[in-house]
Amino acid sequence: MPWLIQAAVGLVVLVLVAFLLGNLVRNLTQAGLLLTWSWLGNPAGFEMAETAIPFDAAMPYWRALLAGLANTLKVVLAGLVGATVLGTLVGTASFSSNGLLRRLARVYVELIRNIPLLLQLVFWYFVVFLALPNGAAALQLPGVVLAKAGLYLSWFDPAWQWQGPQLINGVWTAPLRITVEFAALLTGLVIYTGAFIAEVVRGGVASVPKGQWEAANSLGFSPLQTLTRIVLPQALRVIVPGLNSQYISLAKSSSLAVACGYTDLYSVAETTLNQTGRAVEVVVILLGSYLVIDLVISGLMNGLNSLVQLRER
Amino acid sequence: MGWLRRFATALPLVSVLTLLGCASEGSGVQSQKMATIKARGSLICGTDGKLPGFGSLGPDGRYVGLDVDTCRAVAAAVLGDGEKVEFRDLNPSERFAALSSGEVDLLARNTTMTLSRDAAGGNGLSFAPTTFYDGQGVMVPAASGLADLKALAGKPVCVPSGTTSELNLADRMREQGIVYTPLKFQTLDQMYTAYLSGRCAAVSTDRSQLAAQRSTFPQPKAHTVLPVVMSKEPLTPATINADPAWADAVRWTLFALMQAEEMGITQANVAAKVAEAKANPNQADLRRFLGVEGDFGRQLGLPADFVVRAIGAVGNYGEMFERNLGQMSKLKLERGVNRLWTQGGLIYSPPFR
């Protein structure tokens, strides 16, 4: 009677979970830490340096946490795009007929993936971006100004005129400004995850039999056409599952933002925890948020995976 | 799960009854915490570990600072030896969880006493006497010419993430309608590195901490702590609410150090004072204070001579201050409001009676 055994095992698991939960509630009650959520409606009272959605100190804690989540999503989305582009370029570059390009790609991958991300973030923020000069001495590239106060980019102004960065009274202004905190975090995440994605792409491309290249070549395809029309579509079947893990890992790594002063969900949660003392609730919110972000990424990637797989008839 | 819920609801009742039973016996004190500490043979104390003047490692690898001395004084009072302390370095986010989970017995980590931290419905801490009355200040590079909060409008300000400093700055700036950019850092190292690299126009936290940190800068004179004081920061050691007897023992050990300064008892002369008290039955105050007569120690669950042991370990409050923060230290802070009440300050011990 397999169903009886199933039911018995299920019951035992249920009892165990109930016991553990009861134990948790009892201990939390004794420590005066029983879960309450009413504090979420209290005014947060702290400011944030930059927010993707409007926020000020008079707004409640849940808005603060939401603004933190929006900041996290902002850097994760930008990071996913950047790391994918960089990873694909480097991954395909390691098959280049140009030896220098091939070797550069290998050096990049081996250098970056063997150094802890936290150290890289500290490096990008404190050593690179905080070393940028301010004012007239700032690094000026066409359409972009890199200064300690932020990165200033050309974009359309409110009157839809293309507008570059301008120096007014020693202070740069531009239609688009990115803080160095965001820039450092994004750079770190893109370069770090890009190295792993490059390996995933390289593995995917290598999985396509050599005969496919040769066949395309003999039919008169150019190397670029061979890559984009013949090899990459086949390689995607191998690449997508590997990408999934890298995307999830990038989303989780974004919580290292505290190392470079970016106000992400983790940073807001930490402040909230300190102001309210609701450690368990805040950690539950944190765990839940990252879990949901990663499940969404994973779900989307699994959907993509089923699209690119070979359909056998 | 009926029995489980019944059991769960009955448990607090049982423990309350047990506590009541103990309290009604009246023979000395029942402090679970103190029993644990005695059984372990050492006090576990949560300190900053990186803040000069309050808690940091000295050149010989020994912890030094006002908070560290607080720990040593309590260890001396409970265990008879000021060296029987294990220090735990805690950052602002960890400190309350570490205390309420029992990871540390005593939190002496320049923590501001506030209502929500004290209240049973908040963090549920029990605060000892304030060991340092501080206020939040702002430090700017001297060359910047910034003179007050208004001058910080539109400028980035570095603050430690998750501290009262962060809230106070936000409150003061909102009152005055000043828009600014707070840059928050989890560790002080990161915050001061960002400040020194010029990312922030100013850095804001407790004035004593600013002075302490400035003393470690390559060029301390190139930075000014502005005269503005934007908050009250009574830095106070804390224990958990759940063990009032332990809180009392800590409280009166610290009061004893303040009382000792008032009575002119120092680390150097405490032995002579004990001899003097023993020889002269008329000095009732001194005899009671030093445990030559009376049972103050027993009432607190401490040895009769806990005051003598604490002073023997770290000296009186004034000596602690001067050694760690005052003229004998690198920080050279003025006593200011941290003088004795007899000299116009706020340091005041209730009577030992």
A57 neighbourhood in chain B, CB within 8 Å: 170-171, 174
CA distance B272 to chain A (A): 46
Distance CA B94, CA B115 (A): 19
Contact B182 A22 (CB under 8 A): no
In this prediction, what percent of chain A has a pLDDT beyond 90? 56
Q: Could you report the per-residue pLDDT of B195-244, keeping only the tens digit for each?
A: 999 999 999 998 988 988 888 899 989 999 998 898 998 999 999 998 99
Predicted pLDDT at B1: 44
Q: Quickly count: other Cβ atoms within 10 Å of residue B75's Cβ.
A: 28
> Is any Cβ of chain B less than 8 angstroms from the Cβ of A34?
no
The distance of Cα A103 from the centroid of its chain, to the nearest Å, equals 27
Q: Could you report the per-residue pLDDT of A103-112, keeping only the tens digit for each?
A: 999 999 999 9
Residue from the list A45, A263, A279 with its beta carbon closest to the beta carbon of B184: A263
Q: Which of A57, A77, A55, A58 is nearest to A66 (CA)?
A: A55
For residue B23, what pLDDT band results from cuts at 50, 70 and 90? very low
Phi, psi of B298 (to 5 degrees): -60, -40
Residue from the list A22, A258, A279 with its beta carbon closest to the beta carbon of B97: A279
- Residues in chain A, total: 313
Q: Could you report the per-residue pLDDT of A38-58, keeping only the tens digit for each?
A: 889 998 888 888 888 999 888
- Chains A, B: CB pairs < 8 Å: 107
Mean pLDDT within B126-134: 95
Q: Quickly count: other Cβ atoms within 10 Å of residue B7's Cβ.
A: 13
Mean pLDDT, chain A, rounded, equals 90
Q: Could you report the per-residue pLDDT of A238-277, keeping only the tens digit for each?
A: 999 999 999 999 999 999 998 888 999 998 998 888 788 7
> Is any Cβ of chain B less than 8 angstroms from the Cβ of A212?
no
Mean pLDDT, chain B, rounded, equals 88
Task: Sort strands B202-206 and B156-160 into parallel, antiparallel or unpaired.
Answer: parallel
Please state whether the predicted TM-score (pTM) of the whole model is above 0.80: no
> What residue in A sits closest to B15 (Cα-Cα)?
A30
**Residues on B contacting A at a C-beta cutoff of 8 Å:** 1, 4-5, 8, 11-12, 15, 92-93, 96-97, 100-101, 116-117, 120, 122-124, 156, 161-163, 166-167, 170-171, 173-174, 180-186, 190, 193-194, 197-199, 241-242
> Is any Cβ of chain B less than 8 angstroms from the Cβ of A26?
yes
Q: Could you report the per-residue pLDDT of A10-37, keeping only the tens digit for each?
A: 999 999 999 998 888 887 777 666 778 8
Mean pLDDT within B54-78: 94
Predicted pLDDT at B20: 43
Res. B316: pLDDT tops 50: yes
Q: Which of B330, B328, B346, B329 is nearest to B338 (CA)?
A: B346
A22 neighbourhood in chain B, CB within 8 Å: 1, 4-5, 8
Res. A310: pLDDT tops 50: yes
Which residues in chain A (94-153) have CB-CB distances under 8 A to chain B? 126, 130-131, 134, 148-149
For residue B192, what pLDDT band results from cuts at 50, 70 and 90? very high
Strand partners, B172: none
A270 neighbourhood in chain B, CB within 8 Å: 93, 161-162, 186
Task: Sort strands A150-153 and A144-147 into parallel, antiparallel or unpaired.
Answer: antiparallel
Higher per-residue confidence, A119 vs B17: A119
Q: Could you report the per-residue pLDDT of A119-161, keeping only the tens digit for each?
A: 999 999 999 999 988 878 888 888 888 888 888 888 888 788 8
Enumerate long-range contacts of B332-335, CB under 8 Å, 24 or more apart: B333/B53, B333/B208, B333/B211
Higher per-residue confidence, B41 vs A167: B41
Mean pLDDT within B93-118: 90
> What residue in A sits closest to B163 (Cα-Cα)?
A274
Q: Which of B183, B67, B172 is nearest to B128 (CA)?
A: B67
B174 neighbourhood in chain A, CB within 8 Å: 57-58
Distance CA A313, CA B334 (A): 86
